[in-house]
Amino acid sequence: MLQKSKLISICLGLYIVWCIPSATLAEKINIAVASNFAAAIKQLIEKFEKTSTHKIQVSFGSSGKLYAQINHGAPFHIFFSGDQTKPSLLAKNGLAIKSTQFTYALGQLVLWRAGNPSDNKPVNRKTLTSIKFNHLAIASPKFAPYGIAAMQVLKTLNITQKTTKKLVLGENINQTYHFVASGAAQYGLVAMSQMYKINPASYWEVDEDLYQPIKQDVILLQKAKKSKAALAFLKFIQHEDNLKLIEAFGYQSNLDKAPLVD
């Protein structure tokens, strides 16, 4: 009997030692991130976790899939979308907090050719308009933000008709990248943020007047309303140094940010 109560008190003691600090100090949050932002968010999280006791678990996917998951109760705290529509829709449906929505990055489109850049002609606007390729990979223009922008480029350059039969569609920008990287498609209109390890001679930064800016918004989800960690991370993203970091990954950062209140 004595032993049993001793055991219980030990267990209780251990429970208090382990659980209380983690419950009060450090929080673990889940964030959903559009796949084009993968490389940047990994560095941002690494930097954030160095100065914070909070831990961040990240899930990547296309914005559409993540949106559907959130709509059906996925346990995310923050949603980094690849566009503006989906965060706005979530706010409208009461699943996210409108006042926390802001543009964390402006995506940029590049025309990329895989393979050895030295033994080929330079990649530029002419590469696209001369249409000397069998396949041009783009993200799906039906729902992927970079795919919509890619179609705008083709339309502005007046080559929509001529390229229709050559287009292959990736379900998101990472798959589009993979189509080109594997050599299956010679060219692709992909995200500048994917070019950080790529030789600049093998891609062309598409002129910005050829497509509407790809505004990517983030929003705090309703169930994370009281999460200190989630709010801390959003504030961290808005810090000037971190916006610079985002720019280094091939985005333009946008400064009309939402005033975040505790």
Partner 1 sequence: MIFSDADLNAIWLTLKLATMVTFLLLLIGTPIAWWLSQTRSWLKAPLSAIFALPLILPPTVIGFYLLIAFAPEGPVGHLTSFFGLDSLVFSFWGLVFASCIYSMPFVVQPLQNAFETMGNRPLEVAASLRATPIDQFLSVVLPLCRSGFFTATILGFAHTVGEFGVVLMIGGNIEGETRVVSVQIYDHVEALEYSQAHYLSAAMLLFAFIILLSLYIFQNKKTSFGVRL
User: Which alpha helices (H) appear in the chain, and where do they start and end?
Assistant: 2-24, 38-51, 63-71, 85-92, 125-130, 145-156, 160-163, 173-181, 228-238, 240-248
Kindly tell me which of 65 and 228 has the beta carbon lying closer to partner 1: 65
Q: Give yes or no for a contact between 205 and 192, defined as CB atoms under 8 angstroms apart.
A: yes
Kindly tell me which of 76 and 249 has the beta carbon lying closer to partner 1: 76
Q: If you write DSSP's letter for every residue of 107-161 in order, what string do you get?
A: E-EEEEE-S-STTSPPPSHHHHHHT--S-EEEE-TTT-HHHHHHHHHHHHTT-HH
CB of 88 to partner 1, least distance (A): 13
Kindly tell me which of 194 and 253 has the beta carbon lying closer to partner 1: 194
Q: Give yes or no for a contact between 113 and 195, defined as CB atoms under 8 angstroms apart.
A: no
d(CA 161, CA 178): 25
- Collapsing DSSP to helix, strand or coil, 69 comes out as helix
CB of 186 to partner 1, least distance (A): 8
- Residues in contact with partner 1 by CB under 8 A are 62, 64-65, 67-68, 89, 134-135, 137, 140, 142-144, 167-171, 175, 178-179, 182-185
Tokens of 16: 């208090």
CB of 142 to partner 1, least distance (A): 5
CB of 188 to partner 1, least distance (A): 11
Kindly tell me which of 165 and 197 has the beta carbon lying closer to partner 1: 165
How many CB atoms are located within 10 Å of the residue 34 CB? 32
CB of 136 to partner 1, least distance (A): 10
Kindly tell me which of 85 and 238 has the beta carbon lying closer to partner 1: 85
